[in-house]
Amino acid sequence: MNVFLLSTHGLRDNERRISGNISSSDLTLSQLLTLHQRRRAAHQATRESRSSRAANWRPKPCPWIRGLWLKASTMAGSNKMTINLVVLGRTQTGKSAAGNSLLGSDDFESRLSPSSVTTFCSLGHSCHISGITRRNGCELALRVRVLDTPGFPHSSLSKERVREMVRSALAQHFREEGLHLALLVLRADLPLCPDENEHTVQFIQELLGPTWKDFTAVLLTHADKAKEAGFSEEAYLHSVSSTLLSLLSSVQHKYVFLDNQKSKIKEERAIVLRKLLNFIRQNNYQVLLFKHNKE
């Protein structure tokens, strides 16, 4: 509306400039016709310009709004939806196994080992998954993309090397579509100590930037072991360290328990994916975009 009003005001200003202080009695018939034709031409040009602006208007994007707008417009007329995730965390927390659970596949190597298993970043894709989410009463086919990353500290890679590898992989795979959620993988059967938490949070901040809390959720693996010890999810959260409680609070209580014994079961996977989708929805489907570092 403001564009249209400004255009109208501009037309009136043009008329004033054309006519000036000349009265109609001072003009010949030929001059009056010329003035009338110029006014009509200016009015027609303004209407055409206004129609063109309305037809071709697009939002002027800032970095993340551009990604959000493209994502929303892509999803609007489609019965498909894609979410982009990355798993981060310390060595032997079960990142690769968690990624396989989310994908419903064995894309990532995961095994018991006295040394770090994952030595490079890799992207896995799920098939289209039905029965997870709906929009306007219609079922959507969900596609999950997961970026698996080396742990830190790593048995053969420095922290700086791991950080640069992950940063480069984020830019390579999520530069266009953006990242919906980073999953900080922790073991539910092991305590989270202050020093460990401090280094982990610092690592994520360096990767995701100042808005990391909005795009991070905690994934607690080996929840089956906590259950075997007699802990329900509620009882577990009442017994954990203040360090973990503080971390959960900082990410707006976005956490999910993953039962490793049931992680390959379709129903368990659906529960976890629905919770992750809810976190993404709470963040208004915003995405983080990454620039490729050419240095």
Q: Where are the domains of the chain?
A: 2-56, 63-282
Yes or no: say if 204 and 247 are a contact pair by the CB < 8 Å rule: no
Q: Residue 50 has what pLDDT?
A: 58
Report d(CA 48, CA 42) in Å as an integer. 10
63-282 is classed CATH 3.40.50.10860: no
Reduced to 3 states (helix: H, G, I; strand: E, B; else coil), residue 163 is helix
Reduced to 3 states (helix: H, G, I; strand: E, B; else coil), residue 254 is coil
pTM: 0.73
Q: Which residues have a Cβ under 8 Å from the Cβ of 210 and sit 6 or more positions away?
A: none
- The residue ranges of the chain whose pLDDT is under 50 are 1-25, 54-55, 57-74, 76, 295
Q: Residue 154 has what pLDDT?
A: 86
The residue with tokens 């990624």 is 99
DSSP 2-42: HHHHHHHHHHHHHHHHHHTT--GGGS-HHHHHHHHHHHHHH
HSE toward the beta carbon, residue 189, CA cutoff 13 A = 16
Quote the DSSP letter at residue 179. Answer: B
Q: What values do phi and psi take at 132, rounded to 5?
A: -100, -45
Q: Residue 268 has what pLDDT?
A: 86
Give tens-digit pLDDT for 102-139: 999 889 988 777 778 888 999 999 988 988 988 888 89
Q: Residue 73 has what pLDDT?
A: 36
Q: What values do phi and psi take at 81, rounded to 5?
A: -145, 140
